[in-house]
Amino acid sequence: DAGVIQSPRHEVTEMGQEVTLRCKPISGHNSLFWYRQTMMRGLELLIYFNNNVPIDDSGMPEDRFSAKMPNASFSTLKIQPSEPRDSAVYFCASSHSTGTDTQYFGPGTRLTVL
Amino acid sequence: GNSVTQMEGPVTLSEEAFLTINCTYTATGYPSLFWYVQYPGEGLQLLLKATKADDKGSNKGFEATYRKETTSFHLEKGSVQVSDSAVYFCALTSNTGKLIFGQGTTLQVKP
């Protein structure tokens, strides 16, 4: 199994630019999660999907952030426009279902907004 | 609401020392409990988990027991190695599927 795949692994962009992060969950997993990790705030859940439907987006910091899951094998997290305070590592995770199933994390995308 | 509290780090130990990282939780219902490990520059990996009271999760020499009476899930290892140096996260998930993480504890093992 390839595990959760994220791209790009590193992204450096300038303030105001649009950033798109991509995630491919483990095949057969029905739930997908986007997290953000910073030194100041630790790990934060941004949004999660079950069967491609957004279930809880209460962690999305503001309207500049949006996430989509057009099919079971692909999700995007978009930031438009980006700001320096968005600099963080963004993780995608997937699990077989919501509830108490184990979540498997991707390697993360390190975003730097200058 | 649900929350997880871990002992603050960093924890610095010599190789072959005994490790304990404390974790306590607050939750409604019957959560599952997890320990994840993050090695430098990598994503989080599941280390072990327990799904009900008195369950013991174990992996790679690490153990943790789900203690409902003390709402704790302390991580232990009898003899740490330099390769165990990482950040360890305690977490819980309820039936909503959301993982709630502790703040993480950095472990540094010196030869």
pLDDT tens digits for range A56-113 = 898 998 899 999 999 999 999 999 999 999 999 999 999 987 666 788 999 999 999 9
Quick one: pLDDT at residue A108?
Answer: 95
Q: What is the mean pLDDT of residues B99-111?
A: 93
Q: Which residue of B has its CA nearest to A110?
A: B41
The answer to whether residue B75 scores a pLDDT higher than 70 is yes
Can you tell me the distance from the alpha carbon of A41 to that of B2, in angstroms, rounded to the nearest whole number? 17
Of A43, A55, A97, the CB nearest to B101: A43
Can you tell me the distance from the alpha carbon of A67 to that of B23, in angstroms, rounded to the nearest whole number? 32
Of B31, B96, B104, the CB nearest to A98: B96
Q: Report yes or no: A59 and A45 within 8 Å, Cβ to Cβ.
A: yes
A95 touches chain B (CB under 8 A): yes
A97 touches chain B (CB under 8 A): yes
The answer to whether residue A1 scores a pLDDT higher than 70 is no
Quick one: pLDDT at residue A98?
Answer: 63
Name every chain B residue with its beta carbon within 8 A of the beta carbon of A33.
99
To the nearest whole percent, how much of chain B has pLDDT over 70?
A: 96
Average pLDDT, chain B: 93
Quick one: pLDDT at residue A2?
Answer: 80
B46 touches chain A (CB under 8 A): yes
Q: Are strands A109-113 and A10-13 parallel, antiparallel or unpaired?
A: parallel
